[in-house]
Structure 1
Amino acid sequence: METSRPSCAMFLLLAFFLAIFAQGLQAKINFREKEKQILDQILGPGRYDARIRPSGINGTDDAPTLVRVNLFLRSISKIDDYKMEYSVQLTFREQWLDERLKFNNQGGRLKYLTLTEANRVWMPDLFFSNEKEGHFHNIIMPNVYIRIFPNGNVLYSIRISLTLSCPMNLKLYPLDKQTCSLRMASYGWTTDDLVFLWKEGDPVQVVKNLHLPRFTLEKFLTDYCNSKTNTGEYSCLKVDLLFKREFSYYLIQIYIPCCMLVIVSWVSFWLDQGAVPARVSLGVTTLLTMATQSSGINASLPPVSYTKAIDVWTGVCLTFVFGALLEFALVNYASRSDMHRENMKKSRREMEAAASLDAASDLLDTDSNATFAMKPLMRGGVMDSKMRQCEIHLNPPRKNCCLLWMSKFPTRSKRIDVISRITFPLVFALFNLAYWSTYLFRDEDEEK
């Protein structure tokens, strides 16, 4: 008898907990059933018409329906310079008041009702005006929901991916900043019936650690862009995304290789004038490499009618390389002229030597009287020449330091090489100073 009493007590306790659990389960079932009844009550046939827009402020039909919008930028996958477009994935949210959807919250237990079918309620006819392509996300289920609150507020949220057009000004490429817009407008309802507003507080959120391959998102601005057409005025919202191009990639891939090619082309100034194959092959190779580099850069950019910053750089570098090749042609021509002049001087000296020998033989054949008569004249000529030499030594002509230094190189071809060794690097350094000071230290107003 004593052992049966504890077992009976345990059985009664277990039965009590099962009864409480069953009661709670029944209450939940009844609560879900109550949700179904509320949905049937507010959205049932003949009770709600999704074709009619909600009333405006204070329930007046004359006032427009106010729809508040906010965005969450999940990712920006790419910014295409050639097609002038960018791709973005975002969570788009709209919120408005529809007093026809009010319901009893069951004493605060029912916070909101959730729907996954957007066609059950009235929806704003918003569209993205600068969209090229777009799609919804349906894995595993459609990424969309509608929440209906007891006071009639409706929250619509959906995840979408868009490819949007972004007209770009590439005059400062690759030292530029680009502003890409995201525009949202009403397609059929005018501002008399529907007005879009940004949600107060923080209308646009951006995911943390947003990474772009060649750009940095500096800031974003929200604004309104209402448009007027022949059919009326339509409400419009826009987000301006300001992107700054990362310059380190272009410095390593474009600017430094171009500088190296220009410097390599100057090696020909230090080669011997007679090394024609080496100097020609070096000049042609650097010229073709620079041309290939320039064409590769332009292949990734759209054909625009204005000159870009990268065009100025590649054009000047190509000019320097081409100038080094022309310098060798000038040196070669000057070398042949020097050789021809040297041959002319040599032949002239030979002719003068032959003439002096003939004159000496003629003097030996003359009589002694004539020779004696000529001696005072010859003595006077010798004295005059010595006097002139003394005057030259006493008053030597002053030479410029540059001319004195250039006199160390007797041939014109050698002088051209020496001048080029100094002139080309100096002019290229001045160009770099002007280029970087122009494009790096520019005003914000000039960029626009």
Structure 2
Amino acid sequence: MGSGHYFWAIFYFASLCSASLANNAKINFREKEKKVLDQILGAGKYDARIRPSGINGTDGPAVVRVNIFVRSISKIDDVTMEYSVQLTFREQWTDERLKFDDIQGRLKYLTLTEANRVWMPDLFFSNEKEGHFHNIIMPNVYIRIFPNGSVLYSIRISLTLACPMNLKLYPLDRQICSLRMASYGWTTNDLVFLWKEGDPVQVVKNLHLPRFTLEKFLTDYCNSKTNTGEYSCLKVDLLFKREFSYYLIQIYIPCCMLVIVSWVSFWLDQGAVPARVSLGVTTLLTMATQTSGINASLPPVSYTKAIDVWTGVCLTFVFGALLEFALVNYASRSDMHKENMKKKRRDLEQASLDAASDLLDTDSNATFAMKPLVRHPGDPMALEKRLQCEVHMQAPKRPNCCKTWLSKFPTRQCSRSKRIDVISRITFPLVFALFNLVYWSTYLFREEEDE
């Protein structure tokens, strides 16, 4: 029993010694990391104001490779023509002054959180309007220094960038928004930016935009020349397609409904003046309010947009329906005046016939009757000839479906106002359907050509 206790005591003591040695090794390893940092970044050993040398230590320009990770795109504003994006921005370059011993592969890299300790490229976003870093809970930035002198700089930033838009096809349009990065002070003789080889731009998988879809993105170079020299520049073009379903539900279908409602006036009685006026004015004001609401969410541009053509034509149709009632009302009053005149004329003719018959009765003793040289309009012979002429004129010449359908309504002896309503019931829907055919075929085909 005593020997067993001695064995376990020795085992426990050995375990404590090994743990203590391991902790000392870790402490010594961290101490070595501190010594490496002091060795390469110590006072008088490294100057962050001097740029690193070129490739393979030459005197050429320093090469900085860039890649970005798009975390989110919060909004795309049509009025201010800008978009907001949050991204992780990374730069990588080689500074041979920062080479160090990796302690047989145990020290993979050194990590810094202060960017001013080493030389940094003077990159800026040329189309930036606003931007800020993220400092919760700690500043979202780090610098890694690798044994071969390679430096990796990574930071999370939020930017509001300008995005000039062409809204001629709105809302059937596609927009290209760019992200431009350039050197502010170093020319291409001293600093060159390059995209990282193999997938330089990454986008989060569950990227969601309320009114747009990110179709694709392209990377390119955009070096600029000024009076002070040529500056290296990178850009990535983001191609956004506008989601049309929202505008179909909110704009196009309501406008169609307003136009169709304005046609109800053609089926109301001509005497229902308050109903037809109220219907026409209400639809006109609603359409005008809809148009002003659409324009309020868009910038005032000098060209005509696709939505302007649609709302303008719909407003014209609603206004035309109101003018049609004004024409019908005028024609109705004109027909009523003609009917009154005809009635007065018939009364005068009847009175003259009665007076002539009375005169014939009083002159029954006359030996002969004088025949009038000009027959009176109320003469039975004249009435018979007029009836024969009307029957001849109303005789059908050829079977015509339109005339057959119109014959169900009053002809020339009746009101013209009714004929205007009947013609409008067919003309307005046909013209509106023709406009839809031309509109959708024009803008949809133009959208495909722009692709």
Q: Distance in 2 between matches of 1:206 and 1:255?
A: 33
Which residues of 2 match residues 205-244 of structure 1 at below 5 A? 205-244=202-241
Partner of 1:432: 436
Which residues of 2 match residues 8-47 of structure 1 at below 5 A? 8-47=6-45
Moved more, 396-405 or 302-311: 396-405
Partner of 1:398: 397
Residue 85 in 1 paired to residue 82 in 2?
Answer: yes
TM-score where L is the length of structure 2: 0.93
Q: Distance in 1 between matches of 2:404 and 2:336?
A: 23
Runs of 4+ in 1 over 4 A off after TM superposition: 381-395, 443-447
- Name the SS for the 1:67 alignment partner: strand
Moved more, 437-446 or 31-40: 437-446
Partner deviation per Cα, 1:377-436 (whole Å, 9 max, x = no partner) = x9xx96996899499679945265534543422211111111111111111111111111
- Name the SS for the 1:327 alignment partner: helix
- Name the SS for the 1:369 alignment partner: coil
Residue 162 in 1 paired to residue 166 in 2?
Answer: no
Partner of 1:413: 417
Indicate the percent of aligned positions where both proteins have the same amino acid: 79
Could you tell me how far 1:58 is from its partner in structure 2?
A: 1.8
Partner deviation per Cα, 1:128-153 (whole Å, 9 max, x = no partner) = 00000000011111110011011111
- Name the SS for the 2:368 alignment partner: helix
Residue 308 in 1 paired to residue 312 in 2?
Answer: no
Partner of 1:71: 68
What letter matches 2:114 in structure 1? E
Which residues of 2 match residues 114-125 of structure 1 at below 5 A? 114-125=111-122
- Structure 2, unaligned runs of 5 or more: none
- Name the SS for the 1:55 alignment partner: coil
- Structure 1, unaligned runs of 5 or more: none
Residue 133 in 1 paired to residue 130 in 2?
Answer: yes
Q: Rate the CA distance shift 1:29–1:335 in 2: closer, same or farther, 3 A.
A: same
Could you tell me how far 1:355 is from its partner in structure 2?
A: 1.7
Q: Rate the CA distance shift 1:398–1:48 in 2: closer, same or farther, 3 A.
A: same
What letter matches 2:402 in structure 1? C
Residue 98 in 1 paired to residue 95 in 2?
Answer: yes
Partner of 1:142: 139
- For 1:280, which of 277, 281, 293 is the aligned residue? 277
Could you tell me how far 1:181 is from its partner in structure 2?
A: 0.2
Q: Rate the CA distance shift 1:351–1:195 in 2: closer, same or farther, 3 A.
A: same
Q: Distance in 2 between matches of 1:192 and 1:116?
A: 29
Partner of 1:369: 367
Q: Distance in 1 between matches of 2:390 and 2:143?
A: 110
Could you tell me how far 1:104 is from its partner in structure 2?
A: 0.7
In 1, are the aligned partners of 2:173 and 2:447 still within 8 Å (CA)?
no
Q: Rate the CA distance shift 1:293–1:390 in 2: closer, same or farther, 3 A.
A: closer
Partner of 2:187: 190
Partner deviation per Cα, 1:334-359 (whole Å, 9 max, x = no partner) = 11111101111111111111122222
Could you tell me how far 1:369 is from its partner in structure 2?
A: 3.3
- Name the SS for the 2:436 alignment partner: helix
Q: Distance in 2 between matches of 1:236 and 1:307?
A: 34
Q: Distance in 1 between matches of 2:219 and 2:389?
A: 91
Could you tell me how far 1:283 is from its partner in structure 2?
A: 0.8
Residue 177 in 1 paired to residue 181 in 2?
Answer: no
- Name the SS for the 2:37 alignment partner: helix
CA root-mean-square deviation: 2.4
Residue 422 in 1 paired to residue 426 in 2?
Answer: yes
Could you tell me how far 1:439 is from its partner in structure 2?
A: 1.0
Q: Distance in 1 between matches of 2:382 and 2:230?
A: 109
Q: How many residues align?
A: 440
Could you tell me how far 1:72 is from its partner in structure 2?
A: 0.2
Q: Distance in 2 between matches of 1:394 and 1:169?
A: 62
Could you tell me how far 1:225 is from its partner in structure 2?
A: 0.2
- Name the SS for the 1:370 alignment partner: coil
Could you tell me how far 1:272 is from its partner in structure 2?
A: 0.9
Could you tell me how far 1:46 is from its partner in structure 2?
A: 0.6
Could you tell me how far 1:209 is from its partner in structure 2?
A: 1.4
TM-score where L is the length of structure 1: 0.93
